Chain A
Amino acid sequence: DGGITQSPKYLFRKEGQNVTLSCEQNLNHDAMYWYRQDPGQGLRLIYYSQIVNDFQKGDIAEGYSVSREKKESFPLTVTSAQKNPTAFYLCASSKVLGDGTEAFFGQGTRLTVV
Chain B
Amino acid sequence: GENVEQHPSTLSVQEGDSAVIKCTYSDSASNYFPWYKQELGKRPQLIIDIRSNVGEKKDQRIAVTLNKTAKHFSLHITETQPEDSAVYFCAASGTWGKLIFGQGTTLQVKP
A9 vs chain B, min Cβ distance (A):
10
Contact of B32 with A41 in the complex, beta carbons under 8 Å: no
Contact of B98 with A42 in the complex, beta carbons under 8 Å: no
* Contacts known (A105-B45, A106-B43, A108-B43); A43 close to B89, Cβ less than 8 A: yes
* Contacts known (A41-B103, A42-B102); A97 close to B97, Cβ less than 8 A: yes
Q: Which residues of B contact A42 (CB under 8 A)?
A: 4, 6, 89, 101-104
CA distance A53 to B51 in the complex (A): 30
Interface residue? A90 (CB, 8 A): yes
Q: Which residues of B contact A98 (CB under 8 A)?
A: 96-97
Contact of B49 with A100 in the complex, beta carbons under 8 Å: yes
> A-side binding surface: helix, strand, loop or mixed?
loop
Q: Which residues of A contact B104 (CB under 8 A)?
A: 40, 42-43
Interface residue? A64 (CB, 8 A): no
- Picked from B44, B97, B102, the residue with its CB within 8 Å of the CB of A105 is B44
Contact of A33 with B99 in the complex, beta carbons under 8 Å: yes
* Contacts known (A40-B104, A42-B6, A43-B89); A102 close to B46, Cβ less than 8 A: yes
Contact of A50 with B45 in the complex, beta carbons under 8 Å: no
Digitize B1-13: 1 where CB-to-A-CB distance is under 8 Å, 0 elsewhere.
1001010010000
Q: Which residues of A contact B97 (CB under 8 A)?
A: 31, 96-101
B94 vs chain A, min Cβ distance (A):
9
Q: A residues within 8 Å of B by Cβ?
A: 31, 33, 35, 40-45, 48, 50, 56, 58-59, 90, 96-103, 105-108
